[in-house]
Amino acid sequence: MLYAIVSRLLLPLAWWGRMRVDGLGVVPRSGPLLVVPNHDSQMDPVVLGIALRRVRPLRYLARADLWRIPGLAPILRGLRQIPVERGAGDVAAIQAAVDALRAGEAVCIFPEGRLSRGERLRARSGVARLRAACPEAQVVLALISGTTDYVRFPRRPRVTVELAAPPDAAGEPQALLDSIRARVPAVPAGRNPG
């Protein structure tokens, strides 16, 4: 319920970003789903959640320090997001994500593990761990572009979320990330990138 309310409240961001969504047909409406997007902007999880709001609510593996921001922790808990201590091999977070997948939920994990900052990064181990623990989960790639332009106000961004089946269903995490980055190169965020 809270997820539906929050995603509806965030719809003006989609309007401002002139958001276009392609490929919703590849997203299954039920069953375990692993969504694997690129990550160039803090806005990526927001626009992806808005893009999929009518199809599937997403449970994100999100950096644990977000739960330390005053007022944000109760919202994140209410939205059932999963805190993960990055770079610590957080077994509890991975297990929570596996449990969500086995319960037929949709889990989103950014394979880069952090913002790209315009650099080509290697895939972290989280995607591989989730796929090994829940091989029946369907994988959908999310190619997100234009979100780095939200900070360039008053210029309106042109945001696109393209959802696609991976080119190789058995692809390794780096191959999944490479296929995303071949179509959506890493872009630096900030008002004056580069």
Higher pLDDT, 59 or 113: 59
Q: Kindly report the pTM of this predicted structure.
A: 0.93
pLDDT score at 189: 79
Identify the CA nearest to 49 among candidates 39, 59, 40: 59
Percentage of the chain lying above the pLDDT 90 cut: 82
What distance in Å separates the CA atoms of residue 103 and residue 18, rounded to the nearest whole number? 34
Average pLDDT value for residue range 94-99: 96
Q: Which domains does the chain have, with CATH numbers?
A: 2-183 (3.40.1130.10)
* Tens digit of each residue's pLDDT (9 = 90 or more) over 133-190: 999 999 999 999 999 999 988 999 999 999 999 987 666 889 999 999 999 999 987 7
Residue in this structure with the two tokens 């690129």, named with its chain if needed: 38
Residue in this structure with the two tokens 């593990």, named with its chain if needed: 113
Q: What is the mean pLDDT of the chain?
A: 92
- 126: which residues sit within 8 A by CB, 6+ positions away? 61, 84, 94, 97, 109, 111, 113, 173
* Tens digit of each residue's pLDDT (9 = 90 or more) over 50-80: 999 999 999 999 999 999 999 999 999 999 9
